[in-house]
A and B are shown apart, each in its own frame.
Chain A
């Protein structure tokens, strides 16, 4: 390349936009909401004006879901979504409301709620409480709050699992995220079960904070940056301790910490980024390298419809989760057409977004009903809430499906072969 072309680099590839409008075809918001100016206009078009004068910033940009489907569609790799989110961070004068702060602080609210989980779950389900949330707080009354667990995942781990981890010689660190910690510890337990069966121990991070995705979305990026700094420091410690990877079970947390930290929060994560990955990717990579083997129950049967979560699509990692599930004999995997379910984290909880959120997901829900699976599977917890609220189907993370289908005894036996037996096993290790 000539030198002048090498210098043709713009922030978020702004200058690479050809104005082809392909991104607008895939924007779930502009299809249902004409007040939203669409990704091309909100992003690269208006950015040129905003650079000159901040007055060109339009608060309607908050309607952007940050689903990144514009970036997935862009043939020229323009970071359309990043341009929009950065504009919100830089130019928005909107002060986050109490509601936004509460929705965004999943950590704080989660800790408080798990302490009194039965009361919270009971009262959040009550009509009067929903009415108060709806009218006073602006949290839509149609929403079902994910219920809070009585016991945090971290508490369970320290009590029930930490001691057993000492028997292993190789480890991963697990970034469990808020959802596993406060709402659904079972997913974390499922991961520990799989890793232990594969002869891997699990560590928690020295200190884990919420990844910050909801903070960024709600205009609290300074706080997100502080939390990100804590997370990165803990991850560095794990790498120093020779944990083989920092694994996750949430596509959105993963995407946020790998990409948004760098692109939106300007945190330098280069030294941990390669080690941070979804557990499905870690497992798939070990299996194809012949380093671990999984054995599955002979009688396992399930028809599973896979929903491609937006940030999973953006990561480009759907293939790890789906190929892993395809290894399970008896698991019949059907790919749903890739589209946004409409919830986008805290977005769909807000009264002003509820209707739009449901319109966006409508064709996905129709498709699921047509397929009529035993369950839906997706790597994102907020998609799970949305799909479970909007259809009659249960939504299960791929890791939980693998754990359910796993023949634990046999898997443990396959992965704890004595050193002396190893050469004989070699030919046997390749996966189909």
Chain B
């Protein structure tokens, strides 16, 4: 089977790269082993949130200070802002309404109410310009009765610490009470499926109106808008301002990003091989000539260019045993401390060295195999070395911008 480009990995990075190529007319195949980490995403994309433990206000200024090995530093400074704008355009074209700007970070709220700097956030979620913004406001946390993945006690404490006057209440409707019959499946995603129906949403709006009287702002768990963007409907039906706060995963806003990007790929004719794993790469000279997968067995998948976007340890893009760290799909060279004692820091919340381990690449994101650069293969996103995605709050930004940088490289050939 022949394609212009084959992308290995179906997370944010792989989908971004595939979308950029497909919308520019390339025949693209995307191989993905199970669903992606977007299911744990709270509905925000970040560029750079923290540096040396401090909040970054202007991400591009911070990026200029990053060390040379960081993936952002491999993209030309003047291109970074262009690619950031292209990323935002792509998300909009895929049907995702987002707020925020690349010049200056805003804060998003985590499910336990911590403020984390972000670049873009889905429009239905609460964002803050400063933590003082909620000072003196009367807030209602309106939870769905029986929904356990929204820790309101933590949230209430965090918001109170910002000076807000917080009350917690819960509501139910006929549909939500029906969903609650399941003690194990009363999750954000199943609630969202019920609320996708207009009648159920109208019932919920009535209850929120009843509870929310006299409050400046009502905060809801992010259990809306899986199939439709129905926050607008709810905002019309509810008298007071409402915003959503991310829940514990599986996260509806993250899944919405996944679904919209998948839909965009489908519309642009990309071929997605679900639930499949690359098990072999055929190399000739400095090129990758074909790959095979577990499900397609002897069928060789061929392309002019290949992109590795398999993610880090959680997604199986990197694998460790007791001695070594390897990249299992194509056995590319990995940058990691040789001594296992240096993989981790003792205190959990310290910067963990293993998080920055990854595939070694040139400045054009070409990885190496057996000491040689592979010239028609690129690595993007979390599989790259040099980025500590959680500690720096850079994960999603690195995924999207390296994907776009590589897409341009491929299209310019």
Contact = CB atoms under 8 A, between A and B. Distances in A.
Interface of A: 1-2, 4-5, 20-22, 24-26, 30-32, 34-38, 40-41, 45, 71-77, 274, 284-285, 288, 313-319, 322-323, 335, 337-338, 363
Contacts of A2: 321-323
A319 B270 CA distance: 11
Contact of A316 (B180, B273, B315): B273
Contact of B297 (A45, A274, A319): A274
A419 B196 CA distance: 63
B189 interface: yes
A25 B189 contact: yes
B296 A24 contact: no
A328 B48 CA distance: 48
A31 B186 CA distance: 10
Contacts of B182: 30, 34-38
Contacts of A285: 298-299
5 contacts: A24-B250, A26-B35, A30-B182, A77-B277, A288-B1
Contacts of B187: 21, 24
A75 B316 contact: yes
A22 B295 contact: no
Contact of B271 (A31, A76, A77, A319): A319
B276 interface: yes
B54 interface: no
Contact of A22 (B1, B34, B298): B34
A170 B181 CA distance: 59
Given A24-B187, A288-B1, 13 more contacts: A22-B34, A22-B39, A22-B250, A25-B39, A34-B185, A35-B182, A72-B275, A75-B315, A75-B316, A77-B277, A288-B299, A323-B1, A363-B227
Interface in B179-214: 179-182, 184-187, 189-190, 193
Contacts of B116: none
B185 A75 contact: no
B184 A38 contact: yes
A70 B200 CA distance: 27
Given A1-B321, A72-B274, A285-B299, A30 B35 contact: no
B36 interface: yes
A316 B227 contact: no
A25 B38 CA distance: 12
A428 B294 CA distance: 31
Contacts of B299: 285, 288
A337 B33 contact: no
B238 interface: no
Interface in B241-281: 249-250, 255, 263, 266, 271, 273-277
Contacts of B283: none
B154 interface: no
Given A2-B322, A22-B34, A288-B1, A313 B275 contact: yes
A315 B184 contact: no
B282 interface: no
Contacts of B297: 274
A285 B275 CA distance: 21
Contacts of A35: 181-182
Nearest to A335: B266
Nearest to A75: B34
Contacts of A22: 34-35, 39, 250
Nearest to B149: A21
Given A25-B255, A38-B185, A285-B299, A314 B275 contact: yes
Interface size class of B (residues with CB under 8 A): 35 or more
B62 to A, nearest CB: 31
Interface string B4-22: 0000000000000000000
A21 B181 contact: no
B250 A319 contact: no
A281 B321 CA distance: 37
A34 B179 contact: yes
A34 B180 contact: yes
Given A41-B184, A335-B266, A77 B33 contact: yes
Query: What 10 A-B pairs come out closest when comparing CB atoms?
Result: A316-B295, A75-B34, A34-B182, A34-B181, A41-B184, A72-B275, A38-B185, A2-B322, A30-B185, A73-B35
Nearest to B270: A335
A166 to B, nearest CB: 30
A36 B186 CA distance: 11
Contacts of B227: 363
B322 A5 contact: yes
Nearest to A334: B266
Nearest to A41: B184
A35 B184 CA distance: 10
Contacts of B34: 22, 72-77
Contacts of B293: 316
A31 B196 CA distance: 12
Contacts of B250: 20-22, 24-25
Contacts of B323: 2
Name which of B182, B227, B277 has the most chain A CB atoms within 10 A of its CB: B182
A76 B35 CA distance: 9
Nearest to A76: B34
B34 to A, nearest CB: 4
Nearest to A37: B184
B221 to A, nearest CB: 16
A73 B277 CA distance: 13
Contacts of B179: 34
Nearest to B184: A41
Contacts of B274: 72, 313, 316, 318, 338
Given A2-B322, A21-B249, A74-B34, A319 B184 contact: no
B8 to A, nearest CB: 14
Nearest to A73: B35
A417 B186 CA distance: 64
A34 B1 contact: no
A364 to B, nearest CB: 12
A374 to B, nearest CB: 19
Nearest to A316: B295
Contacts of B266: 335, 337
Nearest to B39: A22
A34 B249 contact: no
B181 A5 contact: no
Contacts of A77: 33-34, 277
A72 B193 CA distance: 20
Interface string B311-327: 00001100001110000
B66 to A, nearest CB: 29
A318 B250 CA distance: 27
A24 B271 contact: no
B254 to A, nearest CB: 10
A36 B184 CA distance: 9
Contacts of A32: 193
A319 B185 contact: no
A319 B273 contact: yes
Nearest to A6: B321
A22 B34 CA distance: 9
Contacts of A318: 274
Given A30-B182, A323-B1, A363-B227, A316 B39 contact: no
A85 to B, nearest CB: 18
